[in-house]
Structure 1
């Protein structure tokens, strides 16, 4: 079977030859110019860095927030309701689904594009004697290190989101592509991140620019960021609590301990680089309701007596949650009472909410130069370390880390050194402190590896049907109550709604 896959990339002509598609190559001169000119070549690589990070703060994150019960809606626009509804629905993996390109197709196209562009850089340097000399400074190893990092992180995201993907290298025969398991793709990603790290450490005055005109990282910051991604991706890989038991938590502690100590949040540049996930998630309607209201999970974590589902009796409007002394609750969320915005009772009043998220809100416009982009919070490394201690049974050590994190220093919350209490505290912090502060997927990954997702929730995406039609593979999907507990679908064994919330 011949499988020709042409991933979407910034410069399509660089990835798909006219021989493969038998079409005229009108841009060949531009392609040759970019590859031949060192400054243009470096700018191409920097644009790929931008694509890597942009895909982590893009629209596609909305669906993962929905699966993790970070927000709720009955709004069917772009399939939002499909991912919030209860009982959970299957992923509609069909080319007849007009929203497939935003749902399962969004991360697939985006991260595969990054990999393809990184391969172009790697191929031209390693296999075609390419040199990147700008203003008489040899940047070849710097650009190669950056390309391996970009490729590895993108592979990591594919591994953590999908059940399988392609491992594509510069010498891969496009006619012989076969899917690899998510574990194999993850290992390839780790190898590439580590290779990028090693190369960066050998470069004097190494720099990595996040996006054209954006923040420039020195070697130390790049090393911390690479270790942070190794920590995030390593702990995020498992689909179930059982699978999570096999991780090397001491190795993950080492990654996180060498990770960022300050938030990685490059300033936005209007219409160039900004947090589109926040832009959608924080939108305030004219009646004062949130376009994407906070799920009942949030006030329930703060006040365990609070209903996990909104009352279906239309005469009942829930009162505010009981204050637990955490100033973040008032700072990050607003009680709006009976202002329900686009919520429709005919689609399930149990999905209603009397809260909206206002954390990071900037007047319905995140597309402003100078705003934080919140790609990764330093607190995430603290929570990863605490979770590793929890998994190793070192509850006192976990509590010590939690006390030194925003949970203790900002939220004034304490935690008892007992397994269930530590886990509840971690759920609280990941859901409240990290939401919209660490890009896409983090809450979903946490909940799936602890079996906290609602039964029937997809624990991974299928390869998009649009891709499977090209590769001539059988179309499949995950999710739905009938598949609960099967591979790719949450069992609901530790559904957050049934947890005894003691801290």
Structure 2
């Protein structure tokens, strides 16, 4: 009964909180009633658009910082919001306790945000499919458009829940809350794929389709919507496995089909202050007064550029590592060497030090402004998904062709030998360098876990947050920790990137 009451409250609360006073022209937004909100077609459409914004804001939200730490994309000894915990070596388990003040940003963050998107999408779907609702504005019928958009939002949000957590709810408008149970991440992904594919089908039947990312912002027409939807199908499908052996069982011909139907140019919507911007980048790119990065670049990145570079910073305080060397111009165009160490604290773990910061998307310490591109889905990621599919299908020549068509060659001038090891290393290189902060949350981490490249004991998935488990009266649990390496939810480290011979 506690679970049922919680979910009912959650559905109504997320709906009300997603609707601004301006959008619904009501004096007290907290008094809004679902039927009143959905009765006026323009308000109904605004409600749906607000959910689109919530979806994309979540993908590039602050919570993505922790996945960058787990994937060794940045380094930190800063205890603020537990950044250090996600960069520490040996690896730590996820602190899944309700007493953890930072849980709301870690395992609790994506859970709350993506489930809210699912709930709001269900409200739209239910109103149209089960309440005979229509969305007619100025004699134009937008019903299929709004339904397709809601199924897309729901499917993508479910896909991220599947990619991040070991289990989640599959909630449909007709789901009986009395029978609600957790589903495995594989089952949640299956539901996500079905919903995104349904969105594509519905959108194709709409004569003049438009998906607004926020009211008055960039809009996707039917053709672009289909490409973006297929791109997410590719990203989420290839990103779901927790290990290399699990990844080997995927249908790579199907994923390749998604990628071939995906975007052919960057999908980077335009930012709007306090509405849509990359909070992930805002934190990740912040420059301190001494010139160093608040979240310095991990040595993994330097090791990929320069195979002679150290994998851990020397513990001797008299040793300062010099700049890396590479024929790839992205070393100096995407990163900057600095002498200062900023907030890095040697008494916590000098092995985590770095002399580099990420500069590629730096905008004077302020990503929350109008007119910037919001990096949601780069075309390069489609190139690398294609290359990875070809790799798994043992077509190394086609994999190299995909890599050569990508920024690996067109920007970095890096060639690739057509063997399994060199292609895998090249894709790893590109995910770590080209896609960092260009693909939103968790993409680098998901790549490394499905190739067993994470450090031993790195969490390969989040548990359901403790705050949720307390409500549902389920036993608390967690994943990760060096002592648990190789167990469920903890990377084995069998191909730990620090032990690789990096040939390309």
The TM-score by the shorter chain falls in which range?
A: over 0.9
The yes-or-no answer on 1:476 pairing with 2:484 is no
CA contact (8 A) 1:8 1:112 kept: no
Kept after mapping to 2: 8 A contact 1:267/1:373: yes
SS of residue matched to 1:3: helix
User: Are 2:146 and 1:156 aligned?
Assistant: no
Name 2:233's counterpart in structure 1: 230
> Structure 2 residue aligned with 1:306, among 306, 309, 314?
309
Q: Which residue of 1 aligns with 2:496?
A: 495
**Residue 332 (str. 1) matches residue 334 (str. 2):** yes
- Normalised to the residue count of structure 2, the TM-score between the two structures is 0.96
Which residue does the alignment assign to 2:22? none
Larger mean Cα displacement after TM superposition, 25-34 or 307-316: 25-34
> Is the contact between residue 115 and residue 150 of structure 1 (CA under 8 Å) also seen in structure 2?
yes
**170-179 or 306-315, which moves further after superposition?**
170-179
Q: Out of 15, 34, 43, which is 2:37 matched to?
A: 34
Contact map agreement 2:14 2:120 (CA 8 A) in 1: no
Unaligned regions of 5+ residues in structure 1, if any? Answer: 16-24
Conserved 8 A contact 1:268-1:368: yes
Note the alpha carbon deviations across 1:165-220, whole angstroms, 9 max, x for none.
00001111223211000000000000000111100000101110111221100000
Cα deviation, 1:305-342, whole Å, max 9, x if unaligned, reads: 000000000000001111x22111111100013x0000
Q: SS at the partner of 2:437? A: coil
1:122-155 CA-partner distances (Å, limit 9, x unpaired): 0000111111011111101110010011101100
- Counterpart in 2 of 1:448? 449
1:28 CA displacement = 5.2
CA distance in 1, matches of 2:199, 2:12: 22
Show structure 1 runs of 4+ deviating over 4 A.
Answer: 7-11, 25-30
1:221 counterpart = 2:224: yes
| CA deviations over 1:384-414 (Å, ceiling 9, x no partner) | 0001111111111111110111000110000
SS of 1:55's partner is helix
2:24 counterpart residue number:
none
Q: 1:238 to 1:29 in 2, by over 3 A?
A: closer
Select between 342-351 and 172-181 the one with higher mean Cα deviation. 172-181
Q: 1:183-202 counterparts in 2 under 5 A?
A: 183-202=186-205
Q: Which residue of 2 aligns with 1:372?
A: 373
* Cα deviation digits, residues 243-291 of structure 1 (max 9, x gap): 0010011111110011001111101011211110000000000001100
Among 81, 86, 89, the residue aligned to 1:86: 89
Whether the aligned pair in 2 keeps the contact of 1:283 and 1:290 (CA below 8 Å) is yes
Distance 1:140 1:184 in 2: 29
- Supply the distance in 2 between the matched residues of 1:415 and 1:262 (Cα, whole angstroms): 23
- Secondary structure of the structure 1 residue equivalent to 2:178: coil
CA contact (8 A) 1:14 1:120 kept: no
**SS of structure 1 residue aligned to 2:211:** strand
Q: Structure 2 vs 1, CA of residues 101 and 140 (structure 1 numbering), >3 Å: closer, same or farther?
A: same
Q: Deviations over 1:329-376 (max 9, x none)?
A: 111100013x00000000000000011111100000011100111011
Cα distance in 2 for partners of 1:157, 1:117 equals: 16
User: Compared with structure 1, are the counterparts of its residues 219 and 314 closer, same or farther at alpha carbon in structure 2 (3 Å cutoff)?
Assistant: same
Counterpart CA distance in 1 for 2:147 and 2:284 is 36
Residue of structure 2 equivalent to 1:3: 3
Q: 2:126 aligns with which of 109, 123, 133?
A: 123
Conservation of the 8 A alpha-carbon contact between 1:13 and 1:28? no
Query: 1:283, 1:213 → 2: CA distance?
Result: 29
CA distance in 2, matches of 1:128, 1:396: 53
TM-score, reference length from structure 1 = 0.96
Residues 8 and 109 of structure 1 are in contact (CA less than 8 Å); yes or no, is this contact kept in structure 2?
A: no
Quote the Cα distance in structure 2 between the aligned partners of 1:29 and 1:420. 58
Give the 5 Å matches for 1:312-327.
312-322=315-325, 324-327=326-329
Q: How far, CA to CA, are the matches of 2:459 and 2:347 in structure 1? A: 25
What is the CA RMSD across the aligned residues, in angstroms?
1.5
For the structure 1 residues 384 and 217, does the alpha-carbon distance in structure 2 shift closer, same or farther, using more than 3 Å as the test?
same
Q: Could you tell me how far 1:32 is from its partner in structure 2?
A: 2.9
- Whether 2:255 is the aligned partner of 1:252: answer yes
Q: Does structure 1 conserve the Cα–Cα contact (< 8 Å) formed by 2:16 and 2:29?
A: no
1:22 matched to which residue of 2?
Answer: none
Cα distance change of structure 1 residues 56 and 73 upon mapping to structure 2, 3 Å threshold:
same
CA contact (8 A) 1:289 1:336 kept: yes
- Aligned-residue offset at 1:11: 4.9
1:180 partner SS = strand
Q: Aligned ranges for residues 343-422 of structure 1 at < 5 Å?
A: 343-422=344-423
SS for the counterpart of 1:348 is: helix
Separation in 1 of the partners of 2:262 and 2:69?
A: 28
Q: Deviation per CA, 1:427-484, whole angstroms, max 9, x where unpaired?
A: 1100000000010000000000000000000000000000000000000000001110
- In structure 2, C-alpha distance between the alignment counterparts of 1:29 and 1:151, rounded to whole Å: 23
2:275 paired with 1:278: no
- Once the two structures are superposed, residues 48-70 of structure 1 have per-residue CA deviations (whole angstroms, 9 ceiling, x without a partner) of 00011110000000000000000
SS in 2 for 1:458: coil
Q: Which residue of 2 aligns with 1:263?
A: 266
Where does 1:51-66 land on structure 2 (aligned, <5 Å)? 51-66=54-69
How far does residue 112 in structure 1 lie from its aligned partner after superposition? 0.2
